Chains A and B, each alone.
Chain A
């Protein structure tokens, strides 16, 4: 993997708003997991989402990707409002990974990524049974693209390994490859370096830069502050479901409220974060 300059300087953030969340609120009964969160993500931008456990980060992700229907607010992707259906969200161009890895364990790495191609291919039952040239072309293209993506994330040699047999770090990268296979405009990563050693974290950072440089917008949830502040162009700090601070990594890092939220806060009673 080529090592690029890890600082975000020198990179141009586009003007186009890719993802816009407006006043997203998610209530479970009387509990407000996400309260009035608004966020804009431009193309070529990496946005970080931090906050103590139970701040509602993953719930917010689930609202964005249609896994939850937000109680209030709306989500637009490239100007179009997203219907709250995971399937349609993926087709519209937003892909995600999961906090607790959710690969298809008994499929090989290649097959996992090929599943990601599902929404960009079209062979249905009859074509699959008749096996015409169109089917074969598409199948071959799917295979090639999947292999390409595995090479891209650095798993080119693990093609035929069952996902569940892969080392932990590789599983996280495979999830990214699978998400990329859906041809997204924006990638949502939920704790992509959880459980990784410093070297793997470093590699993941370079991988995310590479993805950004290929023109995608990225939103990252992470607890590793060094990672977030080195990676992101902009950081949102969520506390108790609400945006506490938003700004450049420098601003957020030095904000006393953020430090207080992490160290002095009393959030343990709010454990609403779903590991959906």
Chain B
């Protein structure tokens, strides 16, 4: 397989000027990159600001903190890629990586300088470190732009013994765990922003230079270990938090959001149905969980074991799915979206009004059902802090483990349905509904099934959410939440598991960590989606088939996917 670098949208003259520069100075690219990397590295040891109160103190020399560390990280990556550019291995494309790291470094340095100048009152407060860093970043970018194109060839990738490949996976996931834990503990918003830029630049740089594809290649060959290692890493995460519940609370919210988004992805990504009222199914599950709990405000005096509650939550939600689906799935496209949007609102208003004044007293109306007690599995109280191996695990950690199981279950359902007779039927419906029906695919039945399965998974997540949140109110299930779920699916990648996990994490984490994102989240996410639709409609992590569907006339892409199919068949 060979990947071809897409030339950026530049006019012919610009392109040829860059090409000419590349020809003349191509051999200096590596030197520029190494020099730039070294400068970035040095800038981390220098002071960035006179003022020691901002950005978690970056005024000290030879004791890097915060963005000084990130500058060094960028420098190391740029250095490594620069050295690789000297050696020119056939299976890597350091130039492309350098370009990404270069752009990222420039943005990073500028962001750092602006943050210092803004918070300390003027550019005069920016110390030599910032300027050295900016110079280094520009050099790295120049090196990246001047470095020659390399066409990658998968077949020349070195194959390590399988234990070593698994080790690579484990190390990478370990790094991911470390980076996540570290990122979550950064509290200063400006530092957090710079860290995100750094991580993004490093990630895009590694992917662009071919490491990403290499890791994907290894992952393909070791799917089971990869999955196990991923879950192990996720399982270990609470142990890095030292008993603090602050991050675990965010993590549990992300997991619930992700599990629900994965359920929605069955409806949207696999069956291709647009559902704008999906949050109602999460709400259904939550209300079932609340009504059957031991809360003093629960309206039904029956407290079955939680396992039964979970099953009931799934059942009730899927019945709602069938009720809403059977009349509406005969309409398609926009009409379906409108009907589901209406259903979402009906659900919220119904919960709002079932307070005894306008019908049976089921939900306590706008007050909701508060005071839902913590779960208790065979004496294991989810509300208590448990100490394992000397590390205290708080209330949210307990729910985190339960939600991890939930996610595993949802992923299992998702992938197994996708890879079956039913999954093939869904693809056929997406491709050509009339032809699918003429070939004997039960179009209506399969759509209904997608609706019911998606709804039941959301219902299941809802029952746990009720206990974790300790209260259920109608205003948690507004249309905006449905929109965010859909945004997570679209942003991450329709029809993929990894994509939705990424999308859900981004959409939940950013507003929690950066105040500015929270204040303008509708604006920012809206812009993000518009930009995504323009440049990468298939989402961050795209399923190959979806990518093809979005780029019908891209023959090159079809060839690439083609050769991957052939590789897999061997």
Contacts and interface: CB of A to CB of B under 8 A. Distances in A.
A125 B434 contact: no
B311 interface: no
A138 B412 CA distance: 20
| Size class of the B contact interface (CB-based, 8 Å) | 35 or more
B437 A87 contact: yes
Nearest to B414: A129
B438 A90 contact: yes
Interface stretch (A161-169, A192-200, A228-236): A161-169
B425 interface: yes
Interface string B440-476: 1111000001000100000000000000000000000
Interface string B184-199: 0000000000000000
Nearest to A135: B420
B414 to A, nearest CB: 10
B558 A115 contact: no
Contact of B412 (A103, A119, A129, A165): A129
A276 B434 CA distance: 9
Nearest to B422: A128
A162 B561 contact: yes
A203 interface: no
Contact of B440 (A87, A102, A107): A87
A104 B427 contact: yes
A162 B425 CA distance: 17
A86 interface: yes
A124 B566 CA distance: 29
B439 A131 contact: no
Given A160-B566, A162-B562, A107 B438 contact: no
B404 to A, nearest CB: 19
B151 to A, nearest CB: 21
A104 B417 contact: no
B439 A128 contact: no
Contacts of A96: 438
A116 interface: yes
Nearest to A116: B439
A90 B427 contact: no
A16 B23 CA distance: 77
Contacts of B412: 129
A40 to B, nearest CB: 23
B413 interface: yes
A126 B413 CA distance: 9
A264 B182 CA distance: 83
A119 B565 contact: no
B519 interface: no
A215 interface: no
Contacts of B428: 104, 107, 115, 118
A111 B437 CA distance: 16
B361 interface: no
Interface string A100-135: 001111111001001111111101110011010001
Contacts of A106: 427, 431, 545, 548-549
Interface string B486-530: 000000000000000000000000000000000000000000000
Interface string A79-111: 000000011001100011010001111111001
A161 B413 CA distance: 28
A118 B425 contact: yes
Contact of A139 (B420, B425, B568): B420
A261 to B, nearest CB: 29
A139 B565 CA distance: 19
B413 A129 contact: yes
A208 interface: no
B565 to A, nearest CB: 4
B421 interface: yes
A102 B431 CA distance: 9
Interface in A10-63: none
Give the one of B421, B425, B428, B431 with max A CB within 10 A: B421
Contacts of A201: none
Contact of B439 (A90, A123, A160): A90
Contacts, number: 119
A125 B453 contact: yes
A128 B434 CA distance: 25
Nearest to A182: B440
Nearest to A163: B431
A115 B565 contact: no
A173 interface: no
Residue among B416, B443, B559 with the most chain A CB within 10 A? B416
A119 B441 contact: yes
B295 to A, nearest CB: 32
B427 A162 contact: no
B420 A182 contact: no
A165 B566 CA distance: 13
B569 interface: yes
A219 interface: no
Contacts of B12: none
B28 interface: no
B424 A118 contact: yes
A248 interface: no
B432 interface: yes
Contacts of B569: 159-160
A91 B421 contact: no
B177 interface: no
Nearest to B417: A128
Contact of B442 (A87, A108, A128): A87
A67 interface: yes
Contact of B417 (A129, A161, A162): A129
B88 to A, nearest CB: 33
A124 B425 CA distance: 11
A123 B423 CA distance: 11
B408 interface: no
B203 interface: no
A176 interface: no
Contacts of B233: none
A107 B427 contact: yes
Which of B420, B436, B442 counts the most A-chain CB atoms under 10 A from its CB?
B420
Interface of A: 65, 67, 86-87, 90-91, 95-96, 98, 102-108, 111, 114-121, 123-125, 128-129, 131, 135, 138-139, 142, 159-162, 164-165, 178-179, 182, 276
Interface of B: 412-413, 416-417, 420-425, 427-428, 431-432, 434-443, 449, 453, 545, 548-549, 558-559, 561-562, 565-566, 568-569
Given A95-B440, A104-B428, A160-B569, 8 more contacts: A67-B438, A91-B440, A98-B435, A102-B434, A104-B427, A104-B431, A121-B421, A129-B417
13 contacts: A87-B442, A90-B438, A96-B438, A107-B545, A128-B422, A129-B412, A129-B417, A131-B416, A160-B565, A160-B566, A179-B439, A182-B440, A276-B434
